[in-house]
């Protein structure tokens, strides 16, 4: 990179890369600094056996597909090697008795399948998804644009004028409902409820959380409309494509560049200093990190107010990842699941609630909710011909362990994950798989498990294995993210901006905060 950068970005997750690429399109010279040996944050692909490619963390790009950043960058990223692969069957649920339901990208098929489970369930699904579509201008604006802005104020004013203030208040009241209430009030079949309930976990919520009903409806709408695509060749292809695009624009993504502190002079950010002492100056600094990293490590003297807010900032449940290399594709005991992108294994709504509650109380769930991804069903290049990989995510794992809800596994007195406990818990998960996949253990070539502690070791922003950058409950979301006093992505330091999963619009592979800061600084 010739010359000094205009903007330095600390971290190289999806938001940092989206910001850098969009700013580069506007002629800004951007330097992205990543402390690890590769860019991408949670987008990391590795061989777990020769020829078997596993996405160790993030894998599904539905939020990116529907994001403003992708709309502007799709052609450039494809030119640099990022291509998405799809299945017409984005998700399914499989219950312990073998009952299942599959969600497709065809509305008529979805309605018919759910009506077959219970009269009225198909209509309830259609009504929920259609409500999202009918309110898309408001819903997606609140989830995807700056909240403390004139644009949002005018949107709310126009909506209140058009609908009437009371109707707008009623909309927000309905949006704040819980997934449990929506599913139990509108759906009769336990299998229909089980199809949708696990998805609230992927938003950092639980079935009893405020606004989890609206997030469940948004995800159902998005999956039906955009599917559950993955990256051909592995999730890591996206950060590689971003790095090539940023370089083409005159910027740079530097790896093995550990930022030790942000240089602040007279209340204004002037650049950064690396761990090796190198100083890099820029007119703007953007930090794509957690509040702990920004205010506890990178800034020398944050105010007492910010230190207090940082101490109060809460992180959510951890994730547990499990990856398999198989010598043949899984042979499901329940037919019709072979081409589904993501399958949730769960007893149902109560099972999701129970496991989430156990994890929140520091217990290893007795029956965890298991999300099984089948990358080879979408992208055969992930494994040698005739073989397969499975991607498993368990979104209910305690960050600090207090015990085992099943009363079987010995847990360490200090509450920390150990290698032995990780493998024992993986065995619990594997035993559930064996109930649904014929001769499963005989097909395993390799297995790699990642506990919440392992995930944090891979990415320091995954505090306790929390992939969502912090608890996503209502009191720490929207205008209150990350802090109650936060205003968009500004900080108390001039020319220093905070983005990433810990900031609005929150976590996921959408790159929302990156697009917003590019709009602000471009």
pLDDT in tens, 246-275: 999 999 999 999 999 999 999 999 999 999
Strands 370-373 and 388-397: antiparallel
CB 399 within 8 A of CB 465: yes
Asked whether residue 37 carries a pLDDT value surpassing 90, the answer given is: yes
Model confidence, pTM = 0.96
Q: Hey, is 484 helix, strand or coil?
A: coil
Angle ∠(56,516,81) on CA atoms, nearest 5? 45
Owner of token pair 């502007």: 72
CA 73 to chain centre: 20
pLDDT at 168: 85
Position 171 confidence tier, pLDDT thresholds 50, 70, 90? confident
Per-residue pLDDT tens for 282-303?
999 999 999 999 999 999 989 9
DSSP H or E run through 248: helix 237-248
As a whole number of angstroms, the longest Cα–Cα distance in the chain is 67
Average pLDDT of the chain to the nearest whole number? 96
Spatial distance between the Cα atoms of 377 and 373, rounded to a whole number of angstroms: 9
pLDDT score of 500: 97
Q: Average of pLDDT values for 424-452? A: 98
- Percentage of the chain beyond pLDDT 70 is 99
pLDDT at 489 over 80: yes
Q: What is the mean pLDDT of residues 171-184?
A: 94
Per-residue model confidence (pLDDT) at position 351: 98
User: Judging by beta carbons within 10 Å of its beta carbon (0-12, 13-18, 19+), is residue 293 exposed, middle or buried?
Assistant: buried
pLDDT of residue 1: 64
Mean pLDDT of 330-335: 97
Q: What strands lie across the sheet with 370-373, from one edge to the other?
A: 100-103, 91-94, 342-345, 370-373, 388-397, 318-326, 444-450
Per-residue confidence at 2, pLDDT binned at 50, 70, 90?
low
* d(C-alpha 113, C-alpha 339), whole Å: 17
* Residue recorded with tokens 């999963």: 501
Beta strand segments in 476-517, E: 496-499
Q: Which residue has the tokens 């007195």?
A: 413
pLDDT of residue 160: 86
Tens-digit pLDDT profile for residues 43-62? 999 999 999 999 999 999 99
For residue 167, what pLDDT is reported? 87
3-state DSSP assignment of residue 480: helix
For residue 158, the model assigns a pLDDT of 86
Segments in 313-372 forming alpha helices (H):
349-360
pLDDT interval class at 191 (50, 70, 90): very high
Structure tokens belonging to residue 344: 């949730």
Give the integer Cα–Cα distance in Å for 445 and 382: 14
- Say yes or no to pLDDT of 150 above 90: no
The gap between the terminal CA atoms of the chain, to the nearest Å, is 20
* Residue among 183, 424, 215, 470 nearest 320 (CA): 424
Tens of pLDDT, residue by residue over 211-237, are: 999 999 999 999 999 999 999 999 999
pLDDT recorded at residue 388: 98
Measured in degrees and rounded to the nearest 5, phi and psi for residue 56 equal: -65, -25
Tell me the backbone φ, ψ of residue 403, rounded to 5 degrees. Answer: 170, -175
> In Å, how far are 87, 108, 385 from 331, measured between CA atoms?
18, 28, 16
Angle, helices 68-79 vs 512-521, to 10°: value is 90
How confident is the model over 202-208, as a mean pLDDT? 96
Q: What is the model's pLDDT at position 144?
A: 79
Position 93 scores a pLDDT of 98
Q: For 413-422, how does the pLDDT look when each residue is reduced to its tens digit (9 = 90+)?
A: 999 999 999 9
* Residue corresponding to tokens 């056996």: 49
Contact 351, 183 (CB under 8 A): no
**Cα separations (Å) of 400 from 309, 313, 320, 380, 404?**
22, 16, 13, 37, 12
| 304: exposed, middle or buried (Cβ count in 10 Å: 0-12, 13-18, 19+) | exposed
Cα 266 to Cα 272: distance, rounded to the nearest angstrom? 15
What is the DSSP-derived secondary structure letter of residue 259?
E
* Residue 440 clears pLDDT 70, i.e. is over it: yes
Q: Please give the share of the chain, as a percent, with pLDDT higher than 90.
A: 91
Report CA-CA distances (Å) from 274 to 31, 108, 243, 280.
13, 56, 20, 8
| DSSP structure class, residue 235 | T
pLDDT tens profile 313-326: 999 999 999 999 99
């Amino acid at each position: 990179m010739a010359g000094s950068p205009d903007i330095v970005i600390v971290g190289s997750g999806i938001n940092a890369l989206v910001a850098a690429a969009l700013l580069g399109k506007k002629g800004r010279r951007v330097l992205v600094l990543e402390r690890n040996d590769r860019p991408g944050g949670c987008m990391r692909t590795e061989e777990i056996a020769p020829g078997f490619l596993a996405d160790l963390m993030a894998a599904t790009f539905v939020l990116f597909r529907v994001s403003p950043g992708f709309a502007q960058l799709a052609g450039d990223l494809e030119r640099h090697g990022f291509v998405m692969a799809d299945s017409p069957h984005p998700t399914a649920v499989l219950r312990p008795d073998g009952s299942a339901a599959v969600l497709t990208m065809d509305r008529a098929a979805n309605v018919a399948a759910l009506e077959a489970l219970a009269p009225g369930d198909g209509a309830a699904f259609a009504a929920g998804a259609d409500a999202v579509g009918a309110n898309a201008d408001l819903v997606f604006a609140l989830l995807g644009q700056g909240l403390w802005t004139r644009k949002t104020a005018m949107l709310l004013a126009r909506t209140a004028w058009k609908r009437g203030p009371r109707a707008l208040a009623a909309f927000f009241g309905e949006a704040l409902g819980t997934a449990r209430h929506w599913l139990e009030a509108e759906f009769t079949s336990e299998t229909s409820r089980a199809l949708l309930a696990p998805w609230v976990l992927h938003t950092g919520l639980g079935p009893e959380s405020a606004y989890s009903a609206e997030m469940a409806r948004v995800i159902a709408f998005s999956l039906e409309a955009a599917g559950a695509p993955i990256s051909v060749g592995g999730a890591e292809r996206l950060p590689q494509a971003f790095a090539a695009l940023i370089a083409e624009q005159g910027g740079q993504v530097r790896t093995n560049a550990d930022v030790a502190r942000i240089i602040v002079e007279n209340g204004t950010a002037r650049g950064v200093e690396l761990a090796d002492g190198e100083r890099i100056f820029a007119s703007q600094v953007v930090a794509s990190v957690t509040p702990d990293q920004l205010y506890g490590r990178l800034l020398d003297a944050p105010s007492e107010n910010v230190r207090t807010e940082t101490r109060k900032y809460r992180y959510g449940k951890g994730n547990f990842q499990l990856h398999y290399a198989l010598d043949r594709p899984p042979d499901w005991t329940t037919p019709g699941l072979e081409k589904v992108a993501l399958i949730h294994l769960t007893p149902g709504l109560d099972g999701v609630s129970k496991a989430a509650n156990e994890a929140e109380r520091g217990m290893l769930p007795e029956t965890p909710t298991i999300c099984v991804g089948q990358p080879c069903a979408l992208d055969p290049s992930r494994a040698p011909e005739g073989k397969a990989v499975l991607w498993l995510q368990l979104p209910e794992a305690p960050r600090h362990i207090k015990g085992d809800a099943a009363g079987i596994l010995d847990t360490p007195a200090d509450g920390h994950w150990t290698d032995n406990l990780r493998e024992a818990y993986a065995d619990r998960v594997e035993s559930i798989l064996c109930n649904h996949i014929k001769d499963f253990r005989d097909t395993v070539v390799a297995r790699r498990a990642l506990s919440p502690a392992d995930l944090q070791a891979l990415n320091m922003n995954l505090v306790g294995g929390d992939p969502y950058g912090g608890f996503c409950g209502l009191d720490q979301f929207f205008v209150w993210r990350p802090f109650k006093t936060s205003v968009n992505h500004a900080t108390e330091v001039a020319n220093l901006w905070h983005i990433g999963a810990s900031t609005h619009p929150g976590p996921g592979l959408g790159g929302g905060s990156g697009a917003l800061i590019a709009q602000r600084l471009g």
